[in-house]
Amino acid sequence: MHTLPADHDDDEAPARLPPDDYCEDATDLFDLDHKMVSSGERASNLTQLANQINRWHETRRHMGGPAPKSLVLVQPEGYGKSHLVIDLVKKGFKVVFCAKSHSQLDEKEFGFRHLHGLEVRRFISKRQNVRMQLEDLGIPLKEFKFVDCPATNPYAMPEINATETIQAIAKLFDAYMIQVDADDFFTEHYTNFEADKQDGEPFDIVLVTFAAMQALTTANRVRWWVRLGLVAKTIPFDGYDFGGLDNDEEDEDVEDEVDAEDDEQERNLKIPFKKIAIVYDDPDRSDVDWLRSISKETVEKLEKLNARYAIRKDKKELPGYWANKYPKHAQRLADLHKERNDVRRSKPRHEIVEYKDAIYLKRPEDLRIGMGLKDKFVSPVAIVTTTEWLTGYYALQTLKLSGMTPLDHLDLFHSVECKVTAISTTITRSKNQAVLLPIIEVLKEEFPSEDVTLIANALGCELNLSNNKGRNDLAGKTSIIKLSWPHPSVNATVGAHFADVENPDYDLMVATELADLGNQALGRNQGFRFKGRQAIMLVDPKYYGKIVSNNLLRYQLTPWSSKLPKYNKKTTKKSALAALSFSAEQTALERRLLELISNFESFGLSENARRLAGRLPERQKEIFDEWLAEHGSVEARGIVVARQAARKAKVAASVRRHRAKKLLQCDFESLTI
C-alpha cells in the first residue's frame, strides 16, 4: 500500500501514478507482490479509509497539515471499492455516486438498494428521461441515439440538434406504429422536463452519470446540490450579499438572487447537508485528462468564438444593460461584472499547447473534475476510484489543478486467483481483426458451455474496453480480450501529458495504457471475481514484450504465455502447432483458438467462416464483409501473393548480401594471414 509522504510538496506532481520518469529504472513501480487478499481484509482496509476520510472532514487536518479535499483510490478490479460508499454512509455522509453509464448505475442501484438496504435516489437527466419514455413505448434503447450538434471545443458538453433528433424519433414512431406526435413528445419529455429535487426525502445515495454531474456543476443557474436534493433544511432569506458572491458563479445565478430579493414569496435559503462525498467510480482517462489534440482550423474557430464571447461579456459592464430588468440593482450588477471581466481578461479562455508538431487544447477550468463542487455553502470531499495507472495519474493532476488538494491511496498487487493466457498476435490489428468475429463463433459453437464473450473495440461488440467497467455479470463467462495497437494520435496525446519527462520511454507509456485497459477487462472474471473461467488476451506484438516483461498485467499468466510464438503471417503452421504441446494444462478451447489464429487469413477466407458470419449482428457482419471484399477477391489475392513474393525476394537479397559480406571477410582474413 502506498500513500504520499508527510513531507510531500503539493507544488510537485505526484510521482507514482505512474512514475514521473518513464525510464527503465522506474519500472520497479510495477513489480508488485503476488498475494491473496481475503474479503475480510479488503473490507477492513476500506473501513479504515472511510474512517480517515471522516477524520479529514471533522478535524480539517491530516499529518500535521490541512486535510486533503480529494482522494484518488487505486485498487484492483473487483476489490469492492463500492463498499467504501457503504462505510461512508455509516459515518453520516450523503454520497453522490457517479458512473460512466446508466447500465453501471442500474447494477449499483440494485446492489445498494436490495443487497445493502440503503435508500437510493436516481437523478434523471433530460436525455435519460427521453430514453426511459421511449422504452416505455416499446422501443429498444439501442435503436435510438440523440443527434448532437458538432462542437468546436472538444471539451464542450454536446448540445442536442433538436430538429434532427425529433426527426429520428418520428421515424421510430412510424416504424413501431406509435400514434404520438414526435414534436410534442420531445417538448414534454426533454424541453420541459426537470428532475424532481425531492428535498427532505430520506436517502443515503444519489446515483448520477459523469455527464449529468458535469452538466450540473458547470451550469450554476441552480446549484448542483440543490438539483440533487442534498438540502438539509430551508431558512428565511434576508436579502443577497453581493460582496460574498464567488467569482466562478454565473450571471444567471446572480439574476436569480436579485429576483429573489425583489420577490417576497422567494425569500428562503436552502442549506445543504454538512457531510457530502462525491464518488467518481472508474472514470475513463478522457474524463480526467487535461490535453486534447485539435487542428489549426479548430484553433481559428475558437479564436472567433472567444472574440464574440468577449463582446457579449463586455456589454454587461454597463449599467444600461441591466437598467430595464433590474433598475434598482443596475449599478451593482455592472460593477460586479466589471470585476469578473477583469479576471477573465487576465487569462486566456482557451489555452493552446504545442508539443512535437501537434496542437493541444488545455481543458477549460470549469470543465475539470472537481471544479464547481465547492461554494460558500458546501465543501464536499471528492473521491476518484480507479484500477488504472494512467487514469489515477491524470485524476491526481486534474484535481490538483482544480484546487482540490488530492491525496493518492494505492493498494495494488498481482492476483494468483486467475487463469490468464496472453498471446502475441497481429490479428489484433485493424486490417486483420474482422476475422476474430467468425473465430469467436467457432468457439461458441464447439464449446457452448464456456459461454465465450469477446471484449474488443472497433468490432461492434456489445462489450468493449470501456463499457465493461464495473460489470459483475461476466464472472461465469470465458472471455477473449483484444488489445489493439492504439491510434498514433492517442499515443501522441499520452506523450503530451508527460511533456516534462526527460528521455521518456514512449513504448512503456503506451504499454501502460494498453495494460490499464487489459487489467480492467481481465477483472471481469479473474482475481476477486474468479470462478474458474479462463481469460485469453490477444496483444499486439509491438507491445507484448513491454507489457509482459514489465509485469504490467496484474494477473499471473500461464507458464506458456511467454513461450508461445508471435502469431502473424510469418508464423508457420508447424511452429504454431508445436507450441501447443508446451503444457498439458492448456484447455481444449485455448488450443483451438491458437490453431485458428495461427492461420487466421486462410480461415477467414473459408466457407466455414462465411457460414458463421451469417449469424453475426448486422454491424459485425458488415465489418467482416468489408474484410472479405478486400481479401477475398482475385485482385486482393493477387496483391497478397505479390506482397509475399516481394517479402521473399527481400529476404533472399538480404541473405545474398550477408553471404557476400562473409565471403569478403574470409578473403580479407586469408590475405592478412
H helix or E strand, kind and range, residue 5? none
Tens-place pLDDT, residues 528-549: 999 999 999 999 998 998 898 8
pLDDT at 120 over 80: yes
Q: How far apart are CA 386 and CA 74, in angstroms?
A: 5
Q: What is the dihedral of CA 653, 654, 658, 663, to 10 degrees?
A: 0
The residue among 189 and 647 whose pLDDT is bigger is 189
**Start-end of H helices in 182-329:** 182-186, 210-218, 224-227, 251-262, 285-288, 296-314, 319-323
| 314 close to 423: Cβ distance less than 8 angstroms | no
Mean pLDDT of 608-630: 93
Place 584 in a pLDDT band, splitting at 50, 70 and 90.
Answer: low
What local confidence, expressed as pLDDT, does residue 583 receive? 59
Q: Is 450 helix (H, G, I), strand (E, B) or coil?
A: helix
Least confident of 137-146, 382-391, 584-593: 584-593
Q: Is 359 helix (H, G, I), strand (E, B) or coil?
A: strand
Cell of 380: 464536499
Place 579 in a pLDDT band, splitting at 50, 70 and 90.
Answer: low
Q: What is the CATH number of the domain that holds 402?
A: 3.40.50.300
Mark residue 232 as left, alpha or beta (left: phi above 0; alpha: psi -120 to 50; beta: remaining). Answer: alpha
- Residue 8 in any domain: the answer is no
Place 199 in a pLDDT band, splitting at 50, 70 and 90.
Answer: low
Q: Is 99 helix (H, G, I), strand (E, B) or coil?
A: strand
Q: What is the CATH number of the domain that holds 425?
A: 3.40.50
Place 19 in a pLDDT band, splitting at 50, 70 and 90.
Answer: very low
Mark residue 117 as left, alpha or beta (left: phi above 0; alpha: psi -120 to 50; beta: remaining). Answer: left
Q: What does DSSP say about strands 120-122 and 231-236: parallel, antiparallel, or unpaired? A: unpaired
Cell of 349: 479562455
Q: Are residues 621 and 604 located together in one domain of the fold?
A: yes
Q: Are residues 142 and 190 located together in one domain of the fold?
A: yes
What local confidence, expressed as pLDDT, does residue 239 receive? 54
Strand partners, 410: 2, 74
Tens-place pLDDT, residues 143-168: 999 999 988 888 888 889 999 999 99
Place 673 in a pLDDT band, splitting at 50, 70 and 90.
Answer: low
Q: Is 116 helix (H, G, I), strand (E, B) or coil?
A: coil
Q: Kindly list the distances between the CA atom of residue 543 and the CA atoms of 425, 503, 597, 616, in Å, as whole numbers in the listed order.
A: 10, 19, 18, 30
Place 375 in a pLDDT band, splitting at 50, 70 and 90.
Answer: confident
Place 260 in a pLDDT band, splitting at 50, 70 and 90.
Answer: very low
Q: In the sheet where 352-355 sits, what is the strand order?
A: 291-294, 358-362, 352-355
Q: How far apart are CA 9 and CA 480, in angstroms?
A: 43
The residue among 479 and 403 whose pLDDT is bigger is 479
Q: Are residues 358 and 216 located together in one domain of the fold?
A: no
Least confident of 252-261, 332-341, 355-364: 252-261
Mean pLDDT of 336-357: 87
Place 82 in a pLDDT band, splitting at 50, 70 and 90.
Answer: confident
Q: How far apart are CA 74 and CA 16, in angstroms?
A: 11
From the list 244, 245, 240, the residue with the least C-alpha distance to 257 is 240
Q: How far apart are CA 405 and CA 667, in angstroms?
A: 71
Q: Are residues 114 and 151 located together in one domain of the fold?
A: no
Mean pLDDT of the chain: 84
Q: Are residues 227 and 351 located together in one domain of the fold?
A: no
Q: Are residues 96 and 209 located together in one domain of the fold?
A: yes
Cell of 611: 457460414
Mean pLDDT of 129-145: 93
From the list 613, 647, 604, the residue with the least C-alpha distance to 433 is 604
Q: Burial-class residue 643 by CB neighbours within 10 Å (0-12, 13-18, 19+).
A: exposed
From the list 304, 302, 400, 402, the residue with the least C-alpha distance to 360 is 302
CA 632 to chain centre: 37
pLDDT at 672 over 70: no
What local confidence, expressed as pLDDT, does residue 206 receive? 95
Let me know the angle formed at the C-alpha of 528 by 522 and 533, rounded to the nearest 5 degrees: 55
Mean pLDDT of 6-11: 37
Place 67 in a pLDDT band, splitting at 50, 70 and 90.
Answer: very high
What local confidence, expressed as pLDDT, does residue 195 receive? 78
How many distinct structural domains can be found in the chain?
A: 4
What local confidence, expressed as pLDDT, does residue 29 receive? 52
Determine the longest span between alpha carbons in the chain, in angstroms: 111
Q: How far apart are CA 471 and CA 336, in angstroms?
A: 49
Tens-place pLDDT, residues 495-513: 899 888 777 788 888 889 9
Tell me the residue type at 563: K
What local confidence, expressed as pLDDT, does residue 263 receive? 43
Q: Is 72 helix (H, G, I), strand (E, B) or coil?
A: strand
| 616 close to 624: Cβ distance less than 8 angstroms | yes
From the list 588, 589, 590, 546, the residue with the least C-alpha distance to 564 is 590
**DSSP per residue over 327-351, as a string?**
TTTHHHHHHHHHHHHHHHHTS-SS-
Q: What is the DSSP letter of 386?
A: E
Place 11 in a pLDDT band, splitting at 50, 70 and 90.
Answer: very low
Q: Are residues 439 and 494 located together in one domain of the fold?
A: yes
What local confidence, expressed as pLDDT, does residue 413 receive? 82
What range does the domain containing 315 cover?
291-362
Let me know the angle formed at the C-alpha of 72 by 123 and 495, rounded to the nearest 5 degrees: 105
Out of 175, 194, 213, a domain closes at 194
pLDDT at 577 over 70: no
Mean pLDDT of 36-45: 89
- Residue 216 in any domain: the answer is yes
Q: How far apart are CA 42 and CA 230, in angstroms?
A: 30
What local confidence, expressed as pLDDT, does residue 3 receive? 39
Q: How far apart are CA 490 and CA 661, in angstroms?
A: 42
- Residue 665 in any domain: the answer is no
Q: Are residues 211 and 179 located together in one domain of the fold?
A: no
Phi and psi for 499 in degrees, rounded to 5?
Answer: -60, -25
From the list 613, 623, 557, 525, the residue with the least C-alpha distance to 424 is 557
- Residue 222 in any domain: the answer is yes
pLDDT at 207 over 70: yes
Place 346 in a pLDDT band, splitting at 50, 70 and 90.
Answer: confident
**Start-end of H helices in 357-402:** 389-401
Q: Kindly list the distances between the CA atom of residue 98 and the CA atoms of 105, 281, 369, 371, in Å, as whole numbers in the listed order.
A: 8, 6, 12, 15
pLDDT at 576 over 90: no
From the list 202, 203, 163, 157, the residue with the least C-alpha distance to 183 is 163
- Residue 10 in any domain: the answer is no
Tell me the residue type at 318: L
What local confidence, expressed as pLDDT, does residue 586 receive? 86
Q: What is the DSSP letter of 95?
A: E
pLDDT at 449 over 90: yes
Q: How far apart are the first and last CA of the chain?
A: 65
| 11 close to 371: Cβ distance less than 8 angstroms | no
Q: Are residues 507 and 615 located together in one domain of the fold?
A: yes
| 85 close to 49: Cβ distance less than 8 angstroms | no
What local confidence, expressed as pLDDT, does residue 569 receive? 62
Instruction: Please name the residues in contact with 607: beta carbons below 8 A apart, sequence gap of 6 or more.
Output: none
Q: How far apart are CA 508 and CA 552, in angstroms?
A: 10
Q: Are residues 501 and 626 located together in one domain of the fold?
A: yes
Place 24 in a pLDDT band, splitting at 50, 70 and 90.
Answer: very low
Residue 221 CB neighbours (<10 A):
12
The residue among 583 and 266 whose pLDDT is bigger is 583
Q: Are residues 46 and 149 located together in one domain of the fold?
A: no
What local confidence, expressed as pLDDT, does residue 12 receive? 35
Q: How far apart are CA 390 and CA 393, in angstroms?
A: 5
Strand partners, 418: none
- Residue 503 in any domain: the answer is yes
- Residue 236 in any domain: the answer is yes
Tens-place pLDDT, residues 411-423: 888 888 899 999 9
Out of 362, 382, 401, a domain closes at 362
- Residue 638 in any domain: the answer is no
Tell me the residue type at 378: V
Q: Are residues 217 and 283 located together in one domain of the fold?
A: yes
